[in-house]
Amino acid sequence: MTGQPAPTVSGIGLVPNGRYSIPDRDLALGVIREAVAEAGIDLSAIDGLYMPSPRPWTPQGFFSTYLHRLLGLETRRSIEVATGGTSGGHAFHAAVENVRSGAVEAALVLALERHSLIETTGPYFDYVATLFDREFETPIGLTIPGVYAQSLRRYLFEYGIEREDVAEIVVKNRRNARANPNALFDEAVTRREVLSSRPIADPIRLYECPAPCDGAAAVVITDGPSDGAAEPPVSVAGIGAHHAASHLLMSHRNEPTELPAIAESASRAVADAGVGVDAIDVFEPYTPFPHIEAIFAEELGLVGRGEGVDACLDGTTAPDGAHPISPSGGCLGRGHPPMVTPLLNHVEAVKQLRGTASTQVDGAEYAMTTAEHGHVNGVTATVFTTEAPA
């Protein structure tokens, strides 16, 4: 990285997770203008646009080109990425790599999601059915919660974990989200309420599922701090990605309680940053179900195998614990517009390092985020820091 520009997050913008009746265009324009204004640059300085490809039900197609006309942009790079939940992560990484190489000087990364545009019964399940193996999995009616229910059941069996204890991860994240003005939920829940909520896919309950919603976020990355940008400057220190030899639960070599894409992508990100995982002060991962947060901690080596739930129970992953995970509330407390969640994680990491997070981790200098797709088959990891680049 020596001699390369240091990609700096100069501006962020987002709307609270929820339900919106305004057009996608207006959601996008709002967060873009917020991020560009915070970066202290003119729109004309943006020479790269990166975003997840909009969902099939998005009314406006060719969205990135549409934005060029609306905003009067002329860019050197314009990229839409379609890799499911990692789309925002890969779009962000493409922007970082282009800034590092000098291909662009000011990159705009955008994501938006309108879950409210599609019925969560027939039309949505028809879409979800296309994600599974058409020959073996689609005919039996698998759902995303159904996949995670299978790995949860195996996780409980493999490590002798009490089913009721897993609910505490939801309790922690909903408690964290109470202070977050952009979160979908503003009320805490008890273990009893989690476990008595409606069954979705045995043994997973409603409160253990990420709540789909509308959302939008934008991030401006520049080749160094821009004049008038927020202090302290937050730079992207390292990026990493990995896709395991798996598709949802179908894997060549790993148990469903092992998610190697997390470990490998994180290893590459910290190596790129020139630090170890032990340097990370706060984590904002894309962990849509509670046992996935537990396995996340295990894959990173923060705790041993089968100890991820205990790490929540004993306060290790609390905001004031040794390894804070999802102080923003994460997918389970903040709400989950899947295409936007990777950027929401980035925004929360930046706020932590600026010292402006709703639930602040004291003295945070390094933050890690992740994005995932499938049953955590593919993962992107990103390390942010306030440390001056070498």
Cβ 229 vs Cβ 38: under 8 Å: yes
Give the C-alpha separation, 332 to 351, whole Å.
19
Instruction: Give me the half-sphere count of Cα atoms (radius 13 Å) on the Cβ side of residue 15.
Output: 25
Q: Of 81, 135, 140, whose CA–CA distance to 378 is shortest?
A: 81
The pLDDT tens digits for 118-155 are 877 777 888 888 898 988 888 888 899 999 999 999 99
Q: Which CATH number fits domain 8-117+212-385: 3.30.413.10, 3.40.120.10, 3.40.109.10, 3.40.47.10?
A: 3.40.47.10
DSSP 80-106: EE-SGGGHHHHHHHHHHHHHHHTS-SE
CA-nearest of 104, 344, 342, 110 to 224 is 104
Question: In this structure, how many other beta carbons lie within 10 angstroms of the beta carbon of residue 69?
Answer: 8
Question: Which pTM was predicted?
Answer: 0.96
pLDDT tens digits, the chain, 390 residues: what are they?
A: 456 778 999 999 999 999 999 999 999 999 999 999 999 999 999 999 999 999 999 999 999 999 999 999 999 999 999 999 999 999 999 999 999 999 999 999 999 999 898 877 777 888 888 898 988 888 888 899 999 999 999 999 999 999 999 999 999 999 999 999 999 999 999 999 999 999 999 999 999 999 999 999 999 999 988 777 767 899 999 999 999 999 999 988 888 999 999 999 999 999 999 999 999 999 999 999 999 999 999 999 999 999 999 999 999 999 999 999 999 999 999 999 999 999 999 999 999 999 999 999 999 999 999 999 999 999 999 999 997 655
H or E stretch including 339?
A: none
Measured N-to-C along each axis, helices 163-177 and 290-299 cross at an angle, to the nearest 10 degrees, of 90
Where do the domains of the chain lie?
8-117+212-385
